[in-house]
């Protein structure tokens, strides 16, 4: 059975995890914003109009009707991921605040 880390190390680790979560959320929000922009651009267009989608390193020709649903679904998935990471971040921040006040840490 391993001994529990001192409160200062626990706090430092929690804060590092919070920083990583915030960075990941910011990155995913950037991706989501790109999806929103593409979605807003494609919505008013004719469904039969050509649209190009980058799949890996290959540019694939599709129609707006084929591309738009996947863009919307990807955006929704990114929103769900941002929400889940935000919830995790909130929990970690609360734990860090409790640890800081309980052990009177100045970090």
> pLDDT value at position 3?
66
Average pLDDT across each block of 10 residues of the chain; the chain has 107 residues. List them in order.
78 95 98 97 96 93 96 98 98 94 77
pLDDT in tens, 59-90: 999 999 999 999 999 999 999 999 999 999 99
Cα 89 from Cα 74, distance rounded (Å): 22
**Domain span including residue 56:** 7-103
Does residue 1 lie in a domain region?
no
Q: Looking at residue 18, which CATH number applies to its domain?
A: 1.10.287.370
Does residue 69 lie in a domain region?
yes
> pLDDT value at position 29?
98
> pLDDT value at position 2?
55
For the chain, the domain total comes to 1
Does residue 47 lie in a domain region?
yes
3-state DSSP of 52-107: EEEECCEEEEEEHHHHHHHHHHHHHHHHHHHHHHHHHHHHHHHHHHHHHHHHCCCC
């Amino acid at each position: 059975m391993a001994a529990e880390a001192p409160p200062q190390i626990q706090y430092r680790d929690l804060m590092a995890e919070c920083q990583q979560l915030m960075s990941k959320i910011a990155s995913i929000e950037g991706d989501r914003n790109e999806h929103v922009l593409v979605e807003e651009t494609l919505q008013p267009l004719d469904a039969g109009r050509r649209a190009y989608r980058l799949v890996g390193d290959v540019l694939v020709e599709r129609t707006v009707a084929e591309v738009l649903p996947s863009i919307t679904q990807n955006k929704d998935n990114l929103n769900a991921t941002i929400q889940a990471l935000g919830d995790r971040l909130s929990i970690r921040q609360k734990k860090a605040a409790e640890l800081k006040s309980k052990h009177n840490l100045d970090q």
